[in-house]
Structure 1
Amino acid sequence: MLVADDEAMVRAGVRAILARDPGIEVVAEAADGHEAVDAVRRLRPAVALLDIQMPRLDGISAAARIHDELPGTAVIMLTTFGEDEFIGRALREGASGFLLKADDPRELLTGVHAVAAGGAYLSPKVAARVIAGLRTGRMAGGAPPRAALDRLTERENEVLALLGTGLSNAEIAARLHLVEGTVKAHVSVILGKLGVRNRVEAAIAAHEAGLAARPRH
């Protein structure tokens, strides 16, 4: 994975946390957004961990480029800033995860594994803000129209419902007795039909449509 932050001490601290897990390998570091995007282009890591405020190219803009050019790399935002504006922008621009630097270090390890497995991950503090934002309309961000949801097949609705509960592709596959590759294909079709950029936005759509609360089997 890639670790990008303009503060060397923060990068060192993150690497020290990640080194606790033998299943995670840091293949590169970056001190700004441009370096991060270039490193992802060269190395194609499974996960890119990006700070939001970096010189030359901020983390959210870097996340958008990675999502558009290199969708095989999942992006997690790791930042001091937990304001709704940053969370909403990051998720709309393709981030699959959002963590705060004040979170428990175990959240970092959990988040990396979750997005590497094709899932999405919000730390509990961030998830609480997203839920509150949905309830008040601050983070609605334009829900997919009902017609878009109606275009989903029965199987796609089942996948979306489980995706809305935060399950990874492998977990959805096990629940629906499918192979993981089939679930991945369904997720890609769902994103296209709903006109959303990532799993997090699809999960939000599932909640707004009332699907996540009643997954079908």
Structure 2
Amino acid sequence: MLLSQDPGISVVAEAADERQAVQRVAECRPDVVLLEAGLTELVQELDRAVPNPPAAVVYGIEAMTPERLADLVRGNVRGVVHRAAAHDDVIHAVHAVLHDGGFASPELTGCLLQAVRAGSMPLGVDHRFRELLTERENGVLSLLCQGLSNKAIAAALCVTEKTVKFHVSNVLAKSGVSTRAQLIAAMGSFTTAHGRHSLGAQSA
């Protein structure tokens, strides 16, 4: 009901259980799937069962270890909403993910930072991959790692959003990870661990 009230969001399906959820996603191919905290295992099931699974927003999180939260981000979860968050945060999370961004409730950012410091976030990105990037791609990567959406990156670089999407796709392909969240987490982990690799934007 909450999502249906937002003119920018179309609810295309609902599911009563995990099996039905997988079926609905396969049939309707939504851009985002919204999951209760108790259904986080469904993220892995969707990865296995659906080609190009939708990004996930998990809401209602109350207590979670940094390791578990890192596991979600390693999957296709791009938004995490705390149980105590305002209802509007669910809408904000869905919109952020729809626009290729991410969202984390303030109550969960400390947990995310602990995961980064502990090395629990994905470290599969060799920082030397940046040497494979063009100057423009490095600039996009820097802004992406600041949490900017494609629209915001386009405005900052004075290019079209379509051009940004093209560059982001190239950056992900060269990095070896599949999602923005994984890349941001990995670059954040590397920067935290080594502290000497600047993510400052470069001019084109």
TM-score, normalized by length of structure 2? 0.84
Shift of 1:152: 1.9
Q: Does 1:89 align with 2:71?
A: yes
Distance 1:64 1:126, change over 3 A: farther
Q: Does 1:44 align with 2:29?
A: yes
Shift of 1:143: 4.3
What is the CA–CA distance in structure 2 between the aligned matches of 1:176 and 1:65, rounded to whole Å?
A: 37
Distance 1:172 1:128, change over 3 A: same
Note if contact 2:74-2:121 (Cα within 8 Å) is conserved in structure 1: no
What is the CA–CA distance in structure 2 between the aligned matches of 1:170 and 1:65, rounded to whole Å?
A: 31
Q: Secondary structure at the match of 2:101?
A: coil
Task: From 128, 145, 152, give the equivalent of 1:147.
Answer: 128
Query: Identical aligned pairs, as a percentage?
Result: 34
Note if contact 2:125-2:187 (Cα within 8 Å) is conserved in structure 1: no
1:26 maps to amino acid: V
Q: Does 1:216 align with 2:199?
A: no
What is the CA–CA distance in structure 2 between the aligned matches of 1:38 and 1:189, rounded to whole Å?
A: 31
Q: Does 1:62 align with 2:45?
A: yes
Task: From 85, 94, 97, give the equivalent of 1:103.
Answer: 85
Shift of 1:111: 0.7
Q: Does 1:192 align with 2:173?
A: yes
The equivalent of 2:157 in structure 1 is: 176
What is the CA–CA distance in structure 1 between the aligned matches of 2:184 and 2:46, rounded to whole Å?
A: 19
Task: From 9, 20, 26, give the equivalent of 1:35.
Answer: 20
The equivalent of 1:157 in structure 2 is: 138
Deviations 1:64-121 (A, max 9, x none): 347x6135x3221224343223311111112221222332212111111111111111
Shift of 1:200: 0.8
Higher relative contact order, chain-length normalized (CA < 8 Å, sep 6+): 2
Task: From 9, 24, 46, give the equivalent of 2:9.
Answer: 24
What is the CA–CA distance in structure 2 between the aligned matches of 1:150 and 1:79, rounded to whole Å?
A: 40
1:149 maps to amino acid: R
Equivalent residue pairs, number: 196
Distance 1:22 1:202, change over 3 A: same
Q: Secondary structure at the match of 1:78?
A: strand
What is the CA–CA distance in structure 1 between the aligned matches of 2:20 and 2:84, rounded to whole Å?
A: 25
Distance 1:118 1:134, change over 3 A: same
Note if contact 1:100-1:123 (Cα within 8 Å) is conserved in structure 2: yes
Shift of 1:63: 4.6
The correspondence of residues 120-139 of structure 1 with structure 2, limited to 5 A, is 120-137=102-119, 139=120
Please say which of residues 183-192 and 96-105 is displaced more in the overlay.
Answer: 96-105
Gaps of 5+ in 1: 1-14
Gaps of 5+ in 2: 192-196
1:94 maps to amino acid: N
Q: Secondary structure at the match of 1:48?
A: strand
Distance 1:115 1:52, change over 3 A: same
